[in-house]
Structure 1
Amino acid sequence: MSFIEGFVTAIPAAKREIFLDHARKAAHVFQGFGASRIVDAWGDDVPKGETTDFYRAVEARGDEAVGFGWIEYADRATRDAASGKMASDTGAAEIGEMPFDGQRMIFAGFEPVVDRGEGGKAGYLEGFVGAVPTANREKFIEHAARAAPLFLRAGALRVVECWGVDVPKGKVTDFYRAVKARDDETVIFSWVEWPDRATRAAAQERLFAEMEGHMKDNPMPFDASRMIFGGFEILNDAKG
């Protein structure tokens, strides 16, 4: 089963090009460690929330943008081996110093439970992080599987929903605090890939209308008020 390493970062807006160069170098290294795809995206339409949001998730400052991305592996064993190599392989030194505060970056390992769509050349994505009662795992999978076709019919290329299986606690920030997860809840990490922002924008009105009716028969099995979401421009999409 495939495995996802998901991450959210606060990046100085002035360092966008430096971040992109760093991301490309990191992608090359991770591909050598067995990653099949690495995506780095830049916050473009990231709203402030009343309870939670991406900015608070990584304690982003006024001069920082939010980065959202992931690394795809064939399975967890490949990802675990890659993590070990990052700590010991001399080739990892070529990535250089991180152009952001690594202490505030949140990251974790996730298992994809819904993956719909053929994919393709994506230029934009919607990212989501939430907290689902662990007892509602199967209800969440059913809900996500039934909702995915709505996005695909609206022009999305791919819809992926992931269940947290290796989510560490952090000293400064972490995924749990990002969505105020409780002890009986599991963190989810999800995204929708779009060809471009225009396609996503054109689909939104239709999606809102369809989702409103859809939720009557397929209600969210989690607290949506704590889910964080936003639109991101894909800067780097490296496939092995």
Structure 2
Amino acid sequence: MTYFEGFIVPVPEANKDAYRKSAADAAPIFKEFGVGRHFEAWDSDVPEGKVTDFRKAVDAKPDEKVVFSWFEYPDKATRDAANEKMMSDPRMKEMSANMPFDGKRMIMGGFEAIVEEGTDRGDYTDGFVVPVPEGKEDDYQKLAAKMAKIFRRHGANRVVEALSNDVPKGEVTDFYRAVKAEDGEKVVFSFIEWPDKATRDEAWKKIMEDESLKPEGDMPFSGQRMFWGGFEPILDTAKARETADA
């Protein structure tokens, strides 16, 4: 299955255009390194959580928004080779010196897909970060696969769940701290791509009202420490290629 490099980035709201330009300028270089799809989405409907949330994950300041982003690769070996090239390429050093955000608070890591439903892209994205206890990975995968089909029936274009595989600890922030991970827990990086926000809003309303979907027994993850939010795409190289090929 697909391998993902997932990112959560705090960006000053005033730097939205600069961030989008920076990402667009970098996209051809990342493609050269082996990135199959480069996706960036801007904070649109990101709720505040009692325990965790996207803003807490990156210590976002009042004037900052959150970007939910990922790279797609065919496998981990391709991703590892790409990272090696990124570390040694002088163009990356130049880009790092001119980033329109605080790189110390960006979090990133490698995730291996455990669920992939659908292939179509979307114009609105729900992002999730979930702590999964050790030994519960199979139970989580089964639940996620079931829910993916339900999301698809309600109009989702694509559903992906990816389990932490190579997620480093950071000096300031990281995925583990973001979900207050306990010893032995893995982290899931997940997203749902919808045709638009209206479809997403209507789908969630129906799913939340469906009594048959209420959980029974213990869930294979900590719901209190899971966080999610809605994001509007600001860069999608897959769509750019589709347009170019049309």
TM-score in terms of structure 1 length? 0.95
What count of residue pairs does the alignment treat as equivalent?
A: 238
CA distance in 1, matches of 2:93, 2:102: 18
Q: Render the CA deviation track for 1:89-144: whole Å, top value 9, x for unaligned.
A: 23435646211000000000000000001323x11100000100120010010000
Partner of 1:229: 228
Which segment drifts farther, 154-163 or 85-94?
85-94
Correspondence for 1:238? 237
Deviation string, structure 1 residues 6-48 (Cα, Å, up to 9, x no partner) = 0001000001000000111222111111111010000000000
Secondary structure of the residue aligned to 1:206 is helix
> 1:4 and 2:4 equivalent?
yes
Where does residue 63 of structure 2 map in the other structure?
Answer: 63
Give the 3-state SS of the residue equivalent to 1:170 in structure 2.
Answer: coil
Write the distance in 2 (CA, Å) between the matches of 1:216 and 1:44: 28
Paired with 2:10 and 2:142, the residues of 1 have a C-alpha distance of 33
Alignment partner, residue 40 of structure 1: 40
1:213 has 2:212 as partner:
yes
**Residue identity opposite 1:213 in structure 2:** S
User: Structure 1 residue 205: deviation in Å?
Assistant: 1.0
- Aligned partners of 2:168 and 2:198: how far apart in 1? 36
Q: Which runs of 5+ in 1 are unaligned?
A: none
CA contact (8 A) 1:143 1:218 kept: no
Structure 2: where are the runs of 5+ without partners? Answer: 242-246
Give 2:191's aligned amino acid: W
Let me know the Cα RMSD of the aligned residues: 1.5
Structure 1 residue matching 2:83: 3-state secondary structure: helix
Deviation at 1:165, TM superposition (A): 0.6
1:235, 1:136 → 2: CA distance?
35
- C-alpha offsets along residues 185-218 of structure 1, whole Å, 9 cap, x if unaligned? 10110000011111111222101123x5224358
* Contact 1:25/1:95, CA 8 A, preserved across alignment: no
Q: How does 1:68-107 map to 2 (within 5 A)?
A: 68-92=68-92, 95=95, 97-107=98-108
Q: Percent identity?
A: 47
Residue 184 of structure 2: aligned partner: 184
Q: Is the 8 A contact 2:207 2:213 kept in 1?
A: no
Query: How many Å separate the matches in 1 of 2:120 and 2:155?
Result: 11
